[in-house]
Copies of this chain bind each other. A is one copy, B any other.
Amino acid sequence: QKQERQVGDTTYYPSLIPQAKQGLLRDVSVIANMNFALRNEFQDGEYMKTRFRNEQFRLEIRGKVHEKVYFRFRDRYTRAQTSESVDNLSRSVDLAYLRFDISEKWSASAGKMCADWGAWEFDWNPIDIYEYSDIVEYADNFLTGVGATYTPSHRNQWTFQVLDSRTKTFTELYGTQPNFTESKAPLAFVVNWRGSLLDGKIKTIWSYSLFNEASNANMNYIALGNEFTFNKFRFIYDFKWSDEQLDRTGIVSQTVPDDIYPYALAKTRYIGHWINIRYMITPKLHLTFVGMLDIAQWRNSFNDPENTAGEEHIRNAWGYIPAVEYYPWDNLNLKFFANWVGRVYKYSDYAKTRFGVSDYNTGRFTVGFITPLGIL
């Protein structure tokens, strides 16, 4: 064979097994994560439009590439390919990391990965979410860094992560900021506990995260996910609490018009409740219901000279999603679904008067299919 340029060996590497044969040791899958839907959209009760939409299309490659090394890569085709200022990788890339399996109980990861700031909604494959709750929807979920996982038994798993707290620079994310300056080490620290109690009848994903957003400005985030399974019935309750010294989630800052405060605000708090109920009528036919409430507060609104009552509350965002799901094949992981996605946004009197916003609601009736399709 001819000598090729940049064929790429890590310089001077003494590999015992030629690269072409290493494939025999691998157990790798290629997956097309798809969520396709026909949407009929409504606002404030009025029919707005009908369209087909590729809700999700994420190609994924994952698996063991060596007895001690696991590789995972996932890229979406529903987002522009870019080169991010901080972590250099495209925003379309969700995952690009290696996991090193050091021992039975310990593993370590490095690369762009899923921040493990759990609870169940966040932990699912995105294709299975009909609509995210506010806190997760507005979060940066895929961050670059390192992690370690300790699995003392099949009943407990602990994960620790240190990550870049964002993929863009401070200025790109927050614009010109009068009250905060960029920090030199804008990192995020995540700790996560996954538990399995009563033979898996109760499962938990609890996490605490500290995100450094600016010098002297952190985000503290707690998520407590709890899953209860009783035969054909499953119930999940996620509690989320995000205290932000600089408004990372941004819902409050977006509510305030730019002619009042044209920058990201300080001291916001978001609280989320999320329930998910699933009833398996038969293995092939399921009924599910998602209910959610996201509460947005502006904790130093008392600084606003026109806020005479000291009102901190900005809005409640409700959501309810009844759905029916049908799995036609025993040997293929694919479901057809029909659902109603209802959202109701209710603002406080303070927000209405001061910021000129109004309550509104949206809805959509959707039918489609969902599959994490193994293709290679």
Q: Is the CB of A125 within 8 A of B374?
A: no
In the complex, A146 Cα to B369 Cα: how many Å? 12
A327-342, CB < 8 A from B: 327, 329-335
Residues of the B chain whose Cβ atoms lie less than 8 Å from the Cβ of A32? 61, 71, 73, 96
Interface centre among A2, A34, A125, A151 (most CB of B within 10 A): A2
Cβ contact of A12, chosen from B6, B63, B234, B374, cutoff 8 A:
B234
Binding stretch for chain B, among A180-188, A243-251, A265-273, A294-302: A180-188
Q: Is the CB of A372 within 8 A of B9?
A: yes
In the complex, A300 Cα to B22 Cα: how many Å? 55
For the complex, is A111 an interface residue (Cβ under 8 Å from B)?
yes
Q: Is the CB of B6 within 8 A of A123?
A: yes
Interface centre among A11, A32, A61 (most CB of B within 10 A): A11
CB distance from A137 to the nearest CB of B (A): 15
Residues of the B chain whose Cβ atoms lie less than 8 Å from the Cβ of A184? 47-50
In the complex, A373 Cα to B66 Cα: how many Å? 10
Cβ contact of A61, chosen from B10, B78, B126, B375, cutoff 8 A:
B375
In the complex, A25 Cα to B331 Cα: how many Å? 10
Q: Is the CB of A10 within 8 A of B89?
A: no
CB distance from A49 to the nearest CB of B (A): 5
For the complex, is A128 an interface residue (Cβ under 8 Å from B)?
yes
Q: Is the CB of B372 within 8 A of A10?
A: yes
Interface centre among A38, A99, A374 (most CB of B within 10 A): A374
Q: Is the CB of B51 within 8 A of A86?
A: yes
For the complex, is A83 an interface residue (Cβ under 8 Å from B)?
yes
How many copies of the polypeptide does the oligomer hold? 3
In the complex, A3 Cα to B19 Cα: how many Å? 28
Q: Mark A1-36, 1 if CB is under 8 A from B, else 0.
A: 111111111111111110110110111111111101
| Contacts A30-B376, A80-B83, A376-B23; A36 near B111 (Cβ below 8 A) | yes
For the complex, is A90 an interface residue (Cβ under 8 Å from B)?
yes
In the complex, A78 Cα to B77 Cα: how many Å? 15
Binding stretch for chain B, among A52-60, A217-225, A256-264, A357-365: A52-60
Residues of the B chain whose Cβ atoms lie less than 8 Å from the Cβ of A116? 5
In the complex, A118 Cα to B190 Cα: how many Å? 46
Cβ contact of A2, chosen from B57, B66, B151, cutoff 8 A:
B151
Q: Mark A89-104, 1 if CB is under 8 A from B, else 0.
A: 1101100111101000
In the complex, A71 Cα to B374 Cα: how many Å? 10
In the complex, A194 Cα to B5 Cα: how many Å? 11
Q: Is the CB of B334 within 8 A of A10?
A: yes
Cβ contact of A13, chosen from B23, B82, B118, B335, cutoff 8 A:
B335
Residues of the B chain whose Cβ atoms lie less than 8 Å from the Cβ of A327? 10, 13-14
Q: Mark A108-137, 1 if CB is under 8 A from B, else 0.
A: 001111101010000111111000000000
A-B contacts besides A49-B185, A77-B96, A78-B83, 13 pairs, CB < 8 Å: A2-B70, A6-B123, A7-B125, A8-B60, A10-B125, A11-B124, A20-B29, A26-B376, A34-B98, A36-B144, A53-B86, A54-B111, A98-B369
Q: List 13 A-B contacts (CB under 8 A).
A: A10-B327, A11-B124, A19-B374, A25-B331, A52-B145, A53-B88, A54-B89, A65-B332, A65-B373, A69-B373, A78-B89, A81-B92, A376-B376
The 7 closest A-B pairs by CB, nearest first: A8-B125, A81-B81, A50-B185, A8-B372, A54-B89, A5-B114, A52-B144
